[in-house]
Each structure stands twice: as structure tokens, then as C-alpha cells.
Amino acid sequence: MRNKLLWILFAVSMGAQAASLDSASLLAPPLKPVSEQPQAAHMVAELLTRHHYKALPLDDAMSEKIFNRYLKMLDSGKYIFVQGDIDQLQAARTRLDDAIITENLSLPFAIFNLYTQRGVERFTYARSLLKEGFDFSQKENFQYDRDKADWPKSEQEMRELWRMRVKNDWLRLRLAGKDDKSIVETLDKRYENFLRRVARTKSEDAFQIFMNAYAMSVEPHTNYMGSRAAEDFDISMRLSLVGIGAALAEKDDYTVIRELIPGGPAILSGQLKAGDRIVGVAQGENSVMIDVVGWRLDDTVAQIRGAADSVVVLDILPADATSDGEHKLVSLIRKKVTLEQQAAKKSVVSVVDGAVTRRIGVISIPAFYQDFEARGRGDRDYRSVTRDVARLMDELKTEKVDGLLIDLRDNGGGSMTEAVELTGLFVGKGPVVQQRDAQGNVAVASDTDATIAWHGPLGVLINRGSASASEIFAAAIQDYGRGLVVGERSFGKGTVQTMVNLDRVARNEKPVLGDVKLTTAQFFRIDGGTTQLRGVKPDISFPSIADDDDLGEASFDNALPWVQIKAVDYAPLGNVKAVLPALQSRHQARLKTNLEFQFLKEDIAEVSLQRKKNLISLNEAERRNEREAQAAKLASREILRGTSRTTQSDPPGQETELAMKTPTQDDGLQANERDLSNELAAEKARKSTKDVFLDEAAHILSDEVDLLKLEIRVASGNRTRFTGPF
């Protein structure tokens, strides 16, 4: 085995020597594992083979799975490796398990180094193509989605693939009105930025990718996180951090302030604004200023974050200054910053139904967050989504809303405890979800508070991005008959994860080993079914543009199967199904006259056809014709929207969410290439547009309010008039 390993390492090093001199000069020294990584790898293996819900041995069979996933994570589009590289690495296919067990990570790092070497060669070649230009009168097609394609068989085939890729990049910018000179400048900088990123790659990057190739080969939602990634995950759960209160982005060689967070030290100072560039950071008034130009974003962020009430000094190049303009120093005191943008929010949608206007309260929940640390130490004011929602509901009650809609679209989950407690606000005391561990033991998670915070009509809006804790909540509301579930079928993630801090296990004082998000159980609905693979099926379904092959649990090749266990004893609280036929009828009638849903059906058909084709023309005339046809279609839609506004309540000039999501003009640019002020303005416009899915969900809930009122009037012989929220 040792001879085979030495042969692979030798072959990889020879491959690197065979590269062009230009490429070699741009490539950073080969990465090597740092001292703590072999130990971390071994600890991860111990957890996955002993304590995982689907524990699998780390053997040659697992090594093959790791090998395939590692290559896919490195080069999913098949733009870097050629078949010869894959053939050269075949001996590693059954040796990656040994690398982890023996704590010798030379082999996975050699594979990563070969990837970076080939990446430099590819992007160096891409830059060379810019000197030649392209003939856009030729009839050529480009396969843009190569996830299922074969590896290029030769260097010649790889070069042809890159020629077409660069040609497409050029054509997109050309169609957007750029001249050849600016196109060359834009693309040359884009490809050079990749080379810069390669040069800044660290061993922790290679290690994290490899360990995730292992973890996700066991099960899709098991992950390894390095210390920084684990810190970011913790911040997302507690919705707070200690820092200056600024969202940062990387643009060219600069760390740029993208947004100032309300209430944070940065915005309160009055000295910073979006677009300002951070070129240096010092830890205190009299400390040495460290130049951070050309740094990775995460390295700069690590310098800016720090202990509460400590001082950080920023060297700022103002947004409106040239690169050699005058700098200014800004001294800030780090404070705890609350990320309110990621917290639950409320709004009210007014639904006009003839002479009646009903007010539907909406609470949008982006994640099931909780400050675990604060709760664990007994802090009575710890932050949680359940507490925030309870407060928002109290506010909506004072606004006298007729119904409540919980918006869980694109909510990927979070704390299961929060899902249980949030459900309790609507069903009171009782079972919410079942958990089955690896030994087959089933435990029932119940809410223990009998108080119901909202008795009125309830709706839950979900989509394909609603997963895990979102599905627990939506499924429980559906099983209890407590409310309507509308939208798309949910993601289908029915597994429970636990965070394991490896440094705590090893009793390290400093965080160096990282964390493992370990799948320890599978959850089941109280009716005995599971959301695994199948997700939550809405009571009323909306048309969906999502592709099951790309999004959802079913898209994973090693997802756990759908199974069923025994139901628990629970008492339904309502019978939504009784009014469902009438609600469905009204919904369908509205869709027939709803322009946006008609447009959506057209777009779904068009996207589906394009997915099947998986080809895009590189002929300029054909692409211009396609662009003009798209523009004409959108223009005709705007005319129809303008005509329909004479009979609808939408204010003039207000576009729909669907219209904003439809690509109107492809500018050919990547996010970090666009002007920041224009990008922020477009983002603000998207947030202010009408949301057709939310609007229809509110109409459905309004219909339910109307039908329930009608039932009450009929049951009481019209002697009792219904008033107020339920």
C-alpha cells in the first residue's frame, strides 16, 4: 500500500512540473496538512462510525464514495480535471480510508494540489484566449450544465471546452452592450481573480472540503466545519456577534462595506458608508496598522471581530476616492450587534373581497434561531424565534387582523426545540414530533405549555426551500388540523443533527479542531409518517419552477428512505379539510384571471424545455433574436399588467415578485463586478415589489375567514354576528 501511495504522490508532483512556466509562477506552494488536522480527521471518523444515525464503517467501500464525492466537490462542472488525471488518481480510490485512519493526509492533499495546479492552467489558458477574440457568426452550441457530463478525454478536448466557455462569457457581455476593450478588461480581471484566490488557498480549505466529502458520503446533512465556519454557524443561530456591525464583501483586492447594520458601532459613528474600502486594521489606538489589501475576506473579518468593548481602528479608503486618494482612520469600540435582518418580521396584507376588506397578518420566519449559550446559562432574556413570534402576534392582535399567515419560504430550519415551542403557540400542550435514534428508540417531543397564543384562522406558506424545523412545524399544524398549508411541496429533510465541538471533546483551550454536525436521529410526524424525501404536501399547491433533480432531499444520491412508524395519541383541533373543496374552488377561479400565475406557467414550461436542451447558442444573431423575443414578451406582459390595473388594486408601476425574478436583461457580470450602489438599489427594488405567492396565500386565508364566518352565521340562524379574530 505504501508503494502505491508514494507512486501517486510522485505522479502528482510530475504533473505539476509539466505545467507551463507561466502557470507555475502563479501557483502558491503546495498545501500540506497542519499538525491538528490528522487528529481532527481521526476524531471525525470515530464519531461517524460509532455515533451516526446511519453509522457506516470506514473501509474501502466508503473510500470509493469519498473519492467520487471529493472529485465532484472540487470539479462538479468537469472544467478542471481531464480523464487522464482521474486515471492517474485511481489508486487513491480505495486508500482514502487509510489516510484518515493512519492520520496521514498526504494523499487527499495531493489530490487538492493537483486540482489547484490544473485550475491555474485552465484560467491561464482562458486569459490567453482573450487576445485572439472570437467569431460569433459560427453555428456553435455550448452545454452550460456539465454536472452529468463525462470528464474531457484529452487536453485538446478540455481546451475546446474552455474556448466555448470563454466565448459565452464574451458574448453575454457583448449582448449587454459592452465594447471589446471593456469585455477583455472585465474577463481578464475575472479570470485573474480566480488565480488570486488559488494563491490564497489555505490548508484548512483543502481539509474542510475533504472532510465534508467523507461526512456527506455517509449522509447528506452531516458536515464538518472548521473553527471559522463553526463560529459563523453559531452567529446565525443566536442572531448576534461582537464586532462593528457591518456586512462586508470582497471586490477586487479590497474588503468593501456592503451594508451598515442598524444599531451597530459602524453606523452610529457616522463615519462610514456603503462602498467604503477597508485597507488596514489595527487592534487599538496605538497598535500597528496591518495592511489587509489583497487579503481573503474571512481573514479581514477575523481581524475586525474581537472582544466586546475593545477598540479596533480601521484605515478607510472612502467609496468616492480613487485608489491613490486620501485615507481616513476610524476608531470604533466593538459591541454586541444584533442581526435583526435575519429575525422574524411582521406585516399586514389587506385583501379586498367585494365590499369587505380583511386584514391578514403575516409573520415571516427566515430561520428557527435560538441563543443556546444564553439559554443554557439561565439568561431570562435569551433570543429565540418563538419569543419573537409571540411578541409579533401580540402586536398584530392590537392591529385587529382577521387571520395569521406564517411564511416559512426558504427557511432551511434550525433549532428543533424552537419548532416544538413555536407549534405550541398554536396548539397548546401536546405532542409535536417524534424522534427515532439509531437503536430504534422513539421519543416524543411535546410542548408543555397549555397556553394558546393565537386561536384565529392560521395559514402556513412553504416552498421547496422550507426544510427540517420548518417541516416539523408545518406538518404538526397540518396533522392537528389547526391551519392550512399552502405553497410548494417542502424540501423533504427528516433528519436531526447535533453539533459536536471537537475541541471540547479533546479538552483544547483554543478552537483548532472544528465542529461536526452529526445526524443522530430521524424525525416523524405525530401521525407516524415522515417528511423525509416526500416533504410536506400543501393542502393547496402552487405551481413550482423548482427542479427535483437540483433541489430537495430526493436530489441526494444517499438520502435516507421514507418510512413510517406508529402514530402517537393526539386530539385534532380543527377540520380544515371540511372547507378545503370550497377554498380550492375559489383559488382555481382566481388563478384563471391572475396574470402572474399565467405568466408563471409559461415560464415553467420554458425553463423545463431549456433544462432538457441544456444547450445555449454561441451565434450572436441567434442570441440577439432570443434576447429580443424575451424583451418583447416582457414588454407585452407589462402592457397586460397596465391594462389589468384598471380593474385591480395594484398601484401603477409596481411589478410583481415573479416579474423581478424573471431575467429581464442579462448584464453578463458576476456579483462582485457590478457597481455596488446599483446592486443595492436593485436589491431594494426587489424587496419592495409585490409578492404574488404571498398575496394569493393571503387571499386563501381570507376565503377561510369568510367561510368560517358563514358557517357560524348558518349554525346560529343568523342570530349571532361574528366579530373580531378567532
Contact 496, 523 (CB under 8 A): yes
Letter for the amino acid at 648?
Q
Q: Calculate ∠ Cα 411-66-464, nearest 5°.
A: 20
Q: Calculate ∠ Cα 497-235-373, nearest 5°.
A: 70
**Rounded distance between C-alpha atoms, residue 103 and residue 207, angstroms:** 12
C-alpha cell at 725: 379574530
**Cα–Cα distances in Å, from 53 out to 48, 49, 559?**
9, 9, 12
Beta bridge partner(s), residue 499: 517
**Cα–Cα distances in Å, from 547 out to 554, 587, 594, 660, 721?**
10, 24, 24, 20, 47
Report which of 466, 650, 613 is spatially closest to residue 544, judged by C-alpha positions: 466
Helix (H, G, I), strand (E, B), or coil: what is residue 498? Answer: strand
Spacing of C-alpha 677 from chain mean position = 23
Given the residues 415, 468, 490, 702, select the one marked as catalytic: 468
Contact 357, 402 (CB under 8 A): no
**Rounded distance between C-alpha atoms, residue 209 and residue 629, angstroms:** 42
Pairing label, strands 311-317, 328-333: antiparallel
Pairing label, strands 240-243, 335-338: antiparallel
Contact 432, 488 (CB under 8 A): no
Helix, strand, coil percentages, rounded to 5, for the chain: 45, 15, 40
CA-only gyration radius of the chain, Å:
28
Beta bridge partner(s), residue 362: 347, 405
- Residue 479 annotated in active site: yes
- Residue 468 annotated in active site: yes
**Rounded distance between C-alpha atoms, residue 294 and residue 673, angstroms:** 16
Report which of 553, 507, 543 is spatially closest to residue 658, judged by C-alpha positions: 543
Cβ-count burial of 188 within 10 angstroms (0-12 exposed, 13-18 middle, 19+ buried)? middle
C-alpha cell at 600: 408563471
Q: Calculate ∠ Cα 158-30-506, nearest 5°.
A: 120
Contacts of residue 664, Cβ cutoff 8 Å, sequence gap at least 6 = 630, 631, 634
C-alpha cell at 446: 411535546
C-alpha cell at 217: 458520503
**Rounded distance between C-alpha atoms, residue 490 and residue 614, angstroms:** 26
What angle separates helix 2-17 from helix 106-129, to the nearest 10 degrees? Answer: 20
**Cα–Cα distances in Å, from 272 out to 241, 268, 298, 327, 332?**
19, 9, 20, 12, 11
Buried b (16+ CB within 10 A) or exposed e, 321-343: eeeeeeeeebebebbebbbeeeb
Residue 537 is classified by DSSP as P
**Rounded distance between C-alpha atoms, residue 187 and residue 172, angstroms:** 11
- Residue 493 annotated in active site: yes
Given the residues 346, 493, 691, 706, select the one marked as catalytic: 493
Buried b (16+ CB within 10 A) or exposed e, 544-561: eebeeeeebbbeeeebbe
Cell 408545518 belongs to which residue? 474
Report which of 273, 321, 274 is spatially closest to residue 676, judged by C-alpha positions: 274
Given the residues 75, 315, 447, 479, select the one marked as catalytic: 479
Residues marked as catalytic: 468, 479, 493
